[in-house]
Amino acid sequence: MSVRLEKEGKVGVIVLDRPPANSYDYQFLRDFAGAIDDARLDPDVRNVVVTSASEKFFSAGAHDRAARP
């Protein structure tokens, strides 16, 4: 999965992990939305942080194939 939800106490940490640059496509966006829903529905999560598993990139934006019809 390209996006995961981790918990650190009452903080939900959504980690973007789609090497090499976290470019997104439709599946990535579905995974991201799912992580947000999981955090929202967890009564123990009070705050959410979005971060990258990559030390170089947060996100490069849309994957070139995702922008094509």
Domains, the chain, ordered by start: 3-52 (3.30.300.220)
* Residue 67 scores a pLDDT above 70: no
Would you state the pLDDT for residue 48?
98
Q: What is the pLDDT of residues 11-61, one digit of tens each?
A: 999 999 998 888 888 899 999 999 999 999 999 999 999 999 999 889 888
Would you state the pLDDT for residue 34?
97
Kindly state the tokens that stand for 66.
Answer: 């995702």
Would you state the pLDDT for residue 64?
65
Kindly list the distances between the CA atom of residue 33 and the CA atoms of 38, 54, 56, in Å, as whole numbers in the listed order: 9, 20, 23
Nearest to 54 by CA among 16, 2, 23: 16
In contact, 15 and 2? CB cutoff 8 Å: no
In contact, 60 and 23? CB cutoff 8 Å: yes
